């Protein structure tokens, strides 16, 4: 039976059903996008954490060994100066790392940027149809 034979109520029900199906499809698509973005973000964070751990461990060992070597070379004549310079170098490296970390955190794109953009476009499209 087509829409004309069912009358205005039947056409309204068909239209409402089609509208609901469209809304559900849009919602499902946005939810899928959200889950994909969350998975990518979690993967990215885990990868960064692993590389950060490796970098911290390796550089810590290297820096400690270099500091010990510098102090050992100057042990007889300038051990206090050498130890102070090594400590100052470690402090400068730590401060530089903090500055770089702050810059990186400020430049990070907002989480779920694609999902938010799609929802904004959906809202804009729906707003245009109402006017």
What is the mean predicted confidence (pLDDT) over 17-44? 88
Residue 111 has pLDDT above 60, yes or no: yes
- Domain of 67 in residue numbering reads as 3-130
Give residue-wise pLDDT tens across range 79-97.
Answer: 899 999 989 988 998 999 8
Place of tokens 């056409």: 11
How far is residue 52's CA from residue 100's CA, in Å, rounded to a whole number? 13
pLDDT over 70, % of the chain? 92
Confidence label for 37 from pLDDT (cuts 50, 70 and 90): confident
Answer for the pair 118, 33: CB distance below 8 angstroms, yes or no: yes
Please give the sequence-ordered ranges of beta strands (E in DSSP) within 14-90, or none if there are none.
none
> What's the sign of the alpha-carbon dihedral 5, 7, 9, 11?
positive
Q: How many domains does the chain have?
A: 1
How far is residue 101's CA from residue 94's CA, in Å, rounded to a whole number? 10
């Amino acid at each position: 039976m087509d829409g004309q034979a069912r009358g205005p109520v039947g056409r309204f029900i068909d239209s409402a059903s089609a509208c609901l199906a469209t809304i559900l499809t849009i919602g499902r698509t946005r939810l899928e996008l959200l889950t994909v973005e969350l998975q990518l973000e979690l993967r990215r964070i885990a990868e960064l954490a692993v590389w950060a751990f490796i970098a911290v461990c390796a550089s810590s060992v290297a820096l400690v060994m270099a500091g010990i070597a510098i102090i050992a070379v100057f042990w007889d004549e300038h051990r206090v100066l050498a130890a102070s310079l090594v400590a100052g170098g470690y402090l400068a490296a730590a401060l530089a790392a903090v500055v770089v970390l702050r810059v990186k955190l400020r430049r990070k794109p907002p989480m779920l940027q694609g999902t938010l953009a799609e929802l904004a476009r959906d809202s804009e499209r729906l707003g245009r149809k109402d006017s």
